[in-house]
Structure 1
Amino acid sequence: MAADPGPDEALRLSGITKRFGAFTANDRIDLGIAWGEVHALLGENGAGKTTLMRIVTGLYQPDEGTMSLDGTPVAFRRPEQALRAGIGMVHQHFTLVPTLTELENLAMAPAAVPWRNGRAAARRRAAEVEASTGLRIDPDRLVADASVGERQRLEIVKLLCRGARLLIFDEPSASLSPGEWDELAKLMRRLAGEGHAVVLISHKLSEVFSVADRWTVLRGGAVAGTGDIAGTTPEHLVELMVGESVAPRRERTPASPGAPTLVIRDLSVDRLAEVDLTVHAGEIVGVAGVAGSGQAELVEAVLGIRPAAAGSVELSGQRLERRTPQAFYAAGGALIPEDRHHVAVVGGMTLGENINLRALRQAPLARRGRINLGAARLRARRLMTEYEVRATGENQPMARLSGGNQQKAVLARELSTEPSLVIAVQPVRGLDVRATEFVYRRLTEHRNRGGAVLLISMDLDEVIALSDRIAVLAHGRVRGVLDAAEATRSRIGALMTSSEVRP
């Protein structure tokens, strides 16, 4: 165990307890955060990490326990009170207004001292943050038009513009490229070196060990352990998080590619230009590239959401003349979207309704134009068991499931239709180590059964570990396609920065 932060203590939580009905999310938690340190807060999905930090930032109020900042007792009833006290949080699920510009989002956030002439002040502070950190925003762009990574960057800039001294990052690298994470890690270390306190919530232990000074693990809503990073190992932290050791992922068998499943020829749309890409049955093709290289345009063009200026798309031997989502699914496509909460699930519907969405028009669920409720219940329960979805039952609201269980339900819905192609976009974003291994295993099993997988990910390690071939996308073009055996971080990085298209 590590010693308490001591006289440089920034935040002290004592006996913090939070209940939601009969469920205890936080159970008598004691935690100290020091000025000048990066403190990693670890645990599985549903362990209580985000709930605890929402108490710190005034989104929730504890049922029991006390909190002090710089030795002074505090109790925040609203997030703006915490921010004015110098505590800010970059949430995993963003707190932005999509219909406003990035500058307007900055101008409307509460400040320790209210700004006069909000837009001008916000523009000036954003320029100062860019000069000191390199984090740049597009002031006049609507948030709705920004990518997930760009929205997350805006959240960080918004927090820094408001002068937060204690900064909480909830899965901050989930949408960042490796290079962007490296810059963010440097920023965290620089902030800590300047006397700020940084709390990092992350499931990626490689990131934790690269940037954190101390750690605390939550399991089942309680503190399972705390200590110095220098005195522990990744294996020890995983055991504390899950209560047992997690076996490393087994080596995958070599791919046995079959006939082409997805064929993209000369596709041009917005920032994409003349993209050629083929995914065969029985293989996983990863697309590597920094955020904003055209990944979203590629997926949306294949789905038929975004019209293409030129080119063709074939799926399962069928040319999609009139590209629409309906045609994509009818031809054997399936999608695991990047934005789980807003695109992949319907939070206001039950788990059972979400898990059955793709099968409502098929027997045995569809009978004479009506839904067979008994068959729907049985199917939902079967898929919940098969995909290890932890819930009180099929009638539990989808919004109340943890992120890992929501993603398992999405996998169940999409893979249970036995699609010929699965497009998986950032499929483990924000998931803990156990849920991540589950998703990887299911995608690999789909490939082993002869299915095709197009994997879009900002995580190079993930792309290299899962893919049989890797297409490198940069500046709207495919710069090269590498076999798994020859794909290294350095070779992929070289293609990312290349201006030449290689066969």
Structure 2
Amino acid sequence: MTLPDSGASSVTRSGPALRLRSVTKRFGGFTANEDVDLEVAWGEIHALLGENGAGKTTLMRILTGLYQPDAGSIEINGEPVQFRRPEQALRAGIGMVHQHFTLVPNLTELENLAMRPSAFPWKSDLRATRRTAEAIADSTGLRITPDRLVEDASVSERQRIEIVKLLCRGARILIFDEPSAALSPDEWEELAALMKRLAADGHAVILISHKLSEVFSVADRYTVLRRGAVAGSGPLSEVTADQLVTMMVGGTVEARPPLQPTRTGEPVLTVTGLDVARDAASRTSPLALAGADLVVRSGEIVGVAGVAGSGQRELVEAIIGINAPRSGSVQVAGVDMRSVGPQRFYDAGGALIPEDRHRVAIIGAMTVWENITMRMLRRPPLRRHGLLNVGAAKRRAVELMDEFDVRAESEHMPIGRMSGGNQQKAVLARELSDNPRLLIAVQPVRGLDVRATDFVYRRLVDHRDAGGAVLLISMDLDEVLAMSDRIVVLAHGRVQGELPAATATRESIGTLMTSAVAA
């Protein structure tokens, strides 16, 4: 596979692609990285592992010029380097697909690809970029929609744009931060094959992932960080998954018991004949969801399986009242949701863990207590006679932080400074604090480490066992199979069938998806 030239293709590759020595990074009194050594060879896929907040992303931001280390050194191909700005790292052939995207929402996908901050003066050759993107699509299967605005793309589609952008810039050292978090299993397989081809072509690939099955399927070597320091490193062939987990968390994680049958009650969510346009503002827009029927009862978790772009986003937006459907009906606890606006959804006992917590679920500059109590501030006991009891709100937030194991310096810490796992637990605390009748969880463990993932799963099951209804939407078939009582297969905007989770398999789900293509 031939990739574009970044200007760094002339390196001799006589030594390691990358060597970090005793790298340390502090933020005030907090040490994010301490004396970290990391070496990655050309032609190698190197897994960088650790819990949320272990320092993995900080280390990679140092490598890509977003941060500068307080101590230590970096070598690229045996030569010492210092990156003061990201464009310097880009010029050196280093590229990173960040877990939280770096795209410009109000530009098209093609325009985002064409932006070249490493070039001075800034240039944008749209025709050449389109040709490059088409070549990459032919080689990798990672296709974009060139003329669509990024803000109209789903999370998984935005992640795909980030990956294509990286390849368009011709990076020789490629860093993937949780790249499969929003991909379907088939899309992950394509990406894994791409990583292997890149390594076989002599590139160096760094993979940051919490999914050990994926790590073992593609990586050659590993480095584990725990609390900012190296806890272990070596060939993956010499360790087991349990050993890696022990290195990451400093102990073992108790196995989560399998989902036990429970008695279901009355329908809490009823979707009937739902048609939703892809573009709600256009009368001629094609349907993203057609004739969808769905029921979720109290005391059960219904999983929705399907590849990205199959109508999941439109389904959620119709249920919570953001987009009015063209036809059909949605009822939550017997309340008609056809009026536009989410307040009726919440008033009926609904709650939502959205797909993209950074854009939708939290306000990064606000404190933890403000984010956790956001939905409670308009009603008693936190507000009486139009006045907010700030002290009571903070005390309630601290109680929820303890209950949901939200770890922060204090309730006054800006939530944007916390790790992804703690942010997600804060969202979970807010959404479950009122014991909602219906909880919609969209990709609820995206980008979370093994311990945070286990915590979220247990809370969802606890809510279901207490009589709550849970609609779980995920691109991860293993997650849907393990966490659901019933599974609804959504493909090409239509509900293709329903399966009991106890007897469903990846193959039976895949058959329903394939039959949709054939139809």
Alignment TM-score, normalising by the size of structure 1: 0.97
Q: Which segment is superposed worse, 88-97 or 250-259?
A: 250-259
Q: In structure 1, what is the Cα distance between the partners aligned to 2:259 and 2:141?
A: 40
Q: Give yes or no for the alignment of 1:341 onto 2:358.
A: yes
Q: In structure 2, what is the Cα distance between the partners aligned to 1:42 and 1:228?
A: 13
Q: How does 1:380-419 map to 2 (within 5 A)?
A: 380-419=397-436
Matched residue, 1:275 = 292
Q: Give yes or no for the alignment of 1:257 onto 2:264.
A: yes
Q: In structure 1, what is the Cα distance between the partners aligned to 2:517 and 2:14?
A: 56
Q: Specify every segment of 5 or more residues in structure 2 that has no aligned partner in the other structure, as ranges.
A: 1-12, 278-287
Q: Is the 8 A contact 1:358 1:417 kept in 2?
A: no
Q: Give yes or no for the alignment of 1:463 onto 2:480.
A: yes
Matched residue, 2:395 = 378
Matched residue, 2:177 = 170
Give 1:121 deviation, angstroms. Answer: 1.6
Q: Give yes or no for the alignment of 1:216 onto 2:223.
A: yes
Q: In structure 1, what is the Cα distance between the partners aligned to 2:505 and 2:396?
A: 42
Q: Is the 8 A contact 1:14 1:28 kept in 2?
A: yes
Q: In structure 2, what is the Cα distance between the partners aligned to 1:347 and 1:82?
A: 27
Q: In structure 1, what is the Cα distance between the partners aligned to 2:121 and 2:38?
A: 31
Q: Give yes or no for the alignment of 1:37 onto 2:44.
A: yes
Matched residue, 1:301 = 318
Q: In structure 1, what is the Cα distance between the partners aligned to 2:387 and 2:337?
A: 30
The AA in structure 2 aligned to 1:369 is: G
Q: Give yes or no for the alignment of 1:230 onto 2:237.
A: yes
2:442 to 407, 416, 425: 425
Cα deviation, 1:125-160, whole Å, max 9, x if unaligned, reads 112212222211111010001111111111111111
Q: Give yes or no for the alignment of 1:83 onto 2:100.
A: no
Q: Is the 8 A contact 1:115 1:121 kept in 2?
A: no
The AA in structure 2 aligned to 1:229 is: L
The AA in structure 2 aligned to 1:399 is: G
Q: In structure 1, what is the Cα distance between the partners aligned to 2:119 and 2:175?
A: 17
Matched residue, 1:366 = 383
1:241 to 248, 255, 263: 248
Partner SS, residue 516 of structure 2: coil
Q: Which segment is superposed worse, 198-207 or 493-502?
A: 493-502
Cα deviation, 1:19-70, whole Å, max 9, x if unaligned, reads 0000000001111000001000000000000000000000000000000101
Matched residue, 1:3 = none
Q: In structure 2, what is the Cα distance between the partners aligned to 1:106 and 1:158?
A: 5
Q: In structure 1, what is the Cα distance between the partners aligned to 2:65 and 2:487?
A: 44
Partner SS, residue 494 of structure 1: helix
CA RMSD of aligned residues (A): 1.5
Q: Is the 8 A contact 1:480 1:501 kept in 2?
A: no
Matched residue, 1:488 = 505
Cα deviation, 1:243-295, whole Å, max 9, x if unaligned, reads 00111111222121100000000000021000000000000000000000000
1:134 to 141, 144, 165: 141
Q: In structure 2, what is the Cα distance between the partners aligned to 1:468 and 1:431?
A: 23
Q: Is the 8 A contact 1:286 1:469 kept in 2?
A: yes
Alignment TM-score, normalising by the size of structure 2: 0.94
Partner SS, residue 273 of structure 2: strand
Q: How does 1:100-111 map to 2 (within 5 A)?
A: 100-111=107-118
Q: In structure 1, what is the Cα distance between the partners aligned to 2:205 and 2:124?
A: 30
Q: Is the 8 A contact 2:268 2:438 kept in 1?
A: yes
1:312 to 319, 324, 329: 329
Partner SS, residue 482 of structure 2: helix
Matched residue, 1:474 = 491
Matched residue, 2:282 = none
Cα deviation, 1:202-224, whole Å, max 9, x if unaligned, reads 00001000010000000000000
Q: In structure 1, what is the Cα distance between the partners aligned to 2:123 and 2:296?
A: 55
1:185 to 192, 204, 217: 192
The AA in structure 1 aligned to 2:444 is: P
1:96 to 84, 99, 103: 103
Give 1:12 deviation, angstroms. Answer: 0.4
Q: In structure 2, what is the Cα distance between the partners aligned to 1:322 and 1:292?
A: 24
Q: In structure 2, what is the Cα distance between the partners aligned to 1:140 and 1:77?
A: 33
Give 1:500 deviation, angstroms. Answer: 8.7
Q: In structure 2, what is the Cα distance between the partners aligned to 1:251 and 1:265?
A: 31
2:60 to 32, 53, 61: 53
CA distance 1:116–1:351, shift in 2 (3 Å) = closer
Q: In structure 1, what is the Cα distance between the partners aligned to 2:126 and 2:237?
A: 44
Cα deviation, 1:339-377, whole Å, max 9, x if unaligned, reads 011100011211001100111122220111111112112
Q: In structure 1, what is the Cα distance between the partners aligned to 2:295 and 2:124?
A: 53
Q: Is the 8 A contact 1:174 1:429 kept in 2?
A: yes
Q: Is the 8 A contact 1:471 1:482 kept in 2?
A: yes
Q: Is the 8 A contact 1:112 1:162 kept in 2?
A: no
Matched residue, 2:3 = none
Give 1:8 deviation, angstroms. Answer: 4.1
The AA in structure 2 aligned to 1:145 is: D
Q: Is the 8 A contact 1:90 1:170 kept in 2?
A: yes
The AA in structure 2 aligned to 1:315 is: V
Q: Which segment is superposed worse, 414-423 or 310-319?
A: 310-319
Q: Give yes or no for the alignment of 1:434 onto 2:451.
A: yes
Partner SS, residue 268 of structure 2: strand
CA distance 1:500–1:119, shift in 2 (3 Å) = closer
Q: In structure 2, what is the Cα distance between the partners aligned to 1:220 and 1:373?
A: 34
Matched residue, 1:19 = 26
Q: Which segment is superposed worse, 106-115 or 463-472?
A: 106-115
Q: Is the 8 A contact 1:479 1:501 kept in 2?
A: no
The AA in structure 2 aligned to 1:195 is: G
Identity of aligned residues (%): 67
Partner SS, residue 502 of structure 2: helix
The AA in structure 1 aligned to 2:72 is: G
Q: Which segment is superposed worse, 120-129 or 270-279?
A: 120-129
Partner SS, residue 190 of structure 2: helix
Count, aligned residues: 497
Partner SS, residue 358 of structure 1: coil
Q: Specify every segment of 5 or more residues in structure 1 that has no aligned partner in the other structure, as ranges.
A: 1-5
Give 1:115 deviation, angstroms. Answer: 8.5
Partner SS, residue 26 of structure 1: strand
CA distance 1:86–1:500, shift in 2 (3 Å) = closer
The AA in structure 2 aligned to 1:480 is: G
